[in-house]
Amino acid sequence: MDIQIRDATEADLPAIVDIYNQSIPAGWSTADTKPVTVADRVEWFRKFDPVRRPLWVAEVDGQVVAWAGLTSFYAGRPAYDATAEVSMYIATAYHRRGIGRQLKQWVIEQCPRLGVTTLLSMHFDHNEATRKINESLGFQQVGHLTEIAVVQGHKRGLVISALRIPAQSAPAG
């Protein structure tokens, strides 16, 4: 499937929120249990920085069908500047079409220019789709916090995976 990936704009926020809210009922991707509103997410959106910690949207035929963003690890403490966490959500109607893998691969390719040398991906331990995507892209499981969330009445664990990315080398000259 041909997707176009671009920096998100505030005009994309309703689509971003809608896609996020679609993930709540299934209980696979978020610890939120109630839908969020666009107003809830305005301040969150404005914390993304296209230069260091971007938020991207993926479009199919001009429609936003997925989004991915990078956030600084551990509240942005300076010693962790080269570490970021990726979050990614796909509209339900577009699951199982390869968009998740394609979008995460694209995010990985952006990491050197963003100064990210360790990319973290966290997911519930029952989320096989994310586990398979991560494994196919070379992520290594580095942690598993068992039974730390209750989602739809079930105890769920959180898997932490990491991908080491070579630092961008300076051009010869």
Tell me, yes or no, whether 18 lies in a domain.
yes
pLDDT greater than 80 at residue 130: yes
pLDDT greater than 90 at residue 32: no
The range of the structural domain enclosing residue 32 comes to 4-164
pLDDT greater than 90 at residue 2: no
CATH number of the domain residue 132 falls in:
3.40.630.30
- Within 8 A by CB and 6+ apart from 6, the residues are 56, 57, 59
* Per-residue confidence (pLDDT) for residue 169, from 0 to 100: 60
Residue 117 main-chain phi, psi, to 5 deg = -110, -10
Tell me, yes or no, whether 15 lies in a domain.
yes
Tell me, yes or no, whether 130 lies in a domain.
yes
pLDDT greater than 80 at residue 57: yes
Distance separating alpha carbons of residues 84 and 103, to the nearest angstrom:
16
Classify residue 48 by burial, with Cβ atoms within 10 Å: 0-12, 13-18, 19+: middle
* Per-residue confidence (pLDDT) for residue 18, from 0 to 100: 97
Confidence band, pLDDT 50/70/90 cuts, at residue 101: very high
Share of the chain above pLDDT 70, in %: 96
Could you tell me how many residues make up the chain?
173
Tell me, yes or no, whether 172 lies in a domain.
no
Tell me, yes or no, whether 169 lies in a domain.
no
Tell me, yes or no, whether 91 lies in a domain.
yes
* Per-residue confidence (pLDDT) for residue 76, from 0 to 100: 83
Tell me, yes or no, whether 171 lies in a domain.
no
Nearest to 106 by CA among 172, 168, 56, 141: 56
Q: List, for residues 63-97, the tens digit of each pLDDT value.
A: 999 999 999 999 889 999 999 999 999 999 999 99
Q: Long-range contacts made by residues 143-152, C-beta under 8 angstroms, separation at least 24? A: 149/31, 149/124, 151/27, 151/31, 151/33, 151/124, 152/27
pLDDT greater than 80 at residue 161: yes
* Per-residue confidence (pLDDT) for residue 49, from 0 to 100: 94
When the pLDDT of each residue in the chain is averaged and rounded to a whole number, the result is: 93
Count of structural domains, the chain = 1
Tokens of 159: 């898997």
Tell me, yes or no, whether 173 lies in a domain.
no
pLDDT greater than 90 at residue 28: no
Residue identified by tokens 């992520």 is: 139
Q: Which of 1-5, 17-21, 108-112 has the lowest mean pLDDT?
A: 1-5
